[in-house]
Copies of this chain bind each other. A is one copy, B any other.
Amino acid sequence: MSEAHCQQQRIMLQNDLLLRTLRGEQTERTPVWMMRQAGRYLPDYMKLKEKYSFFERCQTPELAAEITIQPVEQVGVDAAILFSDILVVPQAMGLEVQMVEGKGPLLPDPIKNGTDLQRIQVPDVHEKLRYVFDALQLTKKELNGRVPLIGFAGAPWTILCYMVQGKGSKTFDEAKIFCYTQPDTAHRLLQMITDTTIAYLKAQAKAGADVIQLFDSWGGLLGPDDFENFSLQYMRQIVQALKEEVLTIIFAKGAWHSLQPMAATGAHGLGIDWCITPAMARQLAGDKVTLQGNYDPAKLLSPVPVIRKEVLQMLREFGGHRHIANLGHGILPNVPVDHARAFVDTVKEFSMVGSH
């Protein structure tokens, strides 16, 4: 990223804690945000959800911007993450994607072999995903420099999981078997997703995203060698392609075994889940990368005093440097708002105490 660009962001943003922490600077306190989708636990979001379908919410920039900013205004997080979905990419590539309320995504015509690749293409993202860039621009304008804006995409492996399996799964066996039995086709598909994702994320940065997070939600289903082969080599391409333009975070849930090579990609931050101690994660990742996480999302249902105690413990374990406080996976929709606020407030208070 050019210095001029950094400088411009610093001038424009009133709160750039997230960006400085990702760059490895010592900050006055730990930044905090909560993983997607945006404010799915907020009553104001629920109201919009009743009125508009999932894709209406994603594809209408005014709605996406409103939902994106809700947690900033109502819970006080230090960054906004665009309201969208990782499956807009396979949709833009030509696969039908349905969002079945309460059931998750459904891709009725999944990819099963090389012939199926003819049904999809690397699209012109500016045409097919323009609504995302419009939403980012509008959000950026409405945020008016209050906090940074995070854009995102699914990692190619995770996108392949849905494109092949056709729906959510505990183990994505069909996707794995596709890779193990038709590796050449799998790599062709992964490269198509990667090329699309690079263009998509470059355009997100141009439209105003200050940070890009890659979600490899299903990275943890692969052993270390397969993770390198079917996931990390494609994420590495993406990080490399973006490194001059925007700050990047890789979140490969469960792929603790590859923290070292993930750090070596040059990503500025690595997300970790709650199944690894901060000390172990730091040992594996080294000290040249920012760690993000790692509170168990189900624990936000605990009583508020328990949340406060556990968040303080987490902050102490991360040591207050190169750490972004976050959950170890997405927030659950049934989290009471005051519990989400307790999480955010505890981080803000701790860091203030810590700075004295």
Contact = CB atoms under 8 A, between A and B. Distances in A.
Interface string A312-351: 0000000000000000110010000000000000000000
A180 interface: yes
A41 to B, nearest CB: 13
A268 B211 CA distance: 48
Nearest to A329: B171
A226 interface: yes
A92 B124 CA distance: 59
Contacts of A254: 254, 275
A15 to B, nearest CB: 29
Interface in A153-179: 168, 170-171, 173, 176-177
Interface in A279-312: 280, 296-299, 301-303, 306
Contacts of A277: 224, 257
A274 interface: yes
Contacts of A303: 181
Nearest to A180: B302
A280 B257 contact: yes
A354 interface: no
Contact of A176 (B170, B180, B226, B296): B296
A298 B176 contact: yes
Contacts of A276: 223-224, 257
A224 B177 contact: no
A299 B170 CA distance: 16
A173 B298 contact: yes
Nearest to A284: B280
Nearest to A277: B224
A221 B170 CA distance: 12
Best-surrounded residue of A223, A226, A254, A280 (most CB of chain B within 10 A): A223
A14 B270 CA distance: 52
Given A173-B298, A223-B296, 5 more contacts: A171-B329, A180-B306, A181-B303, A254-B254, A255-B275
Q: Which 6 pairs of residues, A with B, have the shortest CB-CB distance?
A: A176-B298, A223-B274, A177-B301, A180-B302, A170-B170, A173-B298
